[in-house]
Amino acid sequence: MIKFWHLTKYNLIFNKVKIAFLSILAIFILSITSYFYETEKELGEALIQYSCYIIFIIFTGKMNARTSMMFDIKHIMAFPLTNKEIIYLKSFTDAFQMFPMALLLLYGVSLALPEYHLLAVAIILYLLFVLGNMISFNKRIDFARMQHSKTSFKNSILFLHKYLEMFFQLILIIIGLAVIFL
pLDDT tens per residue across span 70-103: 556 666 666 677 767 777 777 777 778 888 999 9
Instruction: Decide: residue 103, CB within 10 A, 0-12 exposed, 13-18 middle, 19+ buried.
Output: middle
> CA nearest 62: which of 83, 90, 36?
90
Q: Are 41 and 123 in contact, with CB atoms under 8 Å apart?
A: no
pLDDT of residue 77: 65
- With bands split at pLDDT 50, 70 and 90, how would you rate the model's confidence at 3? confident
User: Cβ neighbours of residue 139 under 8 Å, at least 6 residues apart?
Assistant: 63
Q: Hey, is 171 helix, strand or coil?
A: helix
Q: Which residue has the higher pLDDT, 27 or 154?
A: 27
- How high is the pLDDT of residue 19? 86
What is the average per-residue pLDDT within 165-172?
75
154 — pLDDT class (breaks 50, 70, 90): low
pLDDT given for residue 26 in this prediction? 92
Band (pLDDT 50/70/90 cuts) for residue 146 is very low
CA distance 56 to 133: 12
Question: Residue 16 pLDDT > 60, yes or no?
Answer: yes
pTM of the model: 0.69
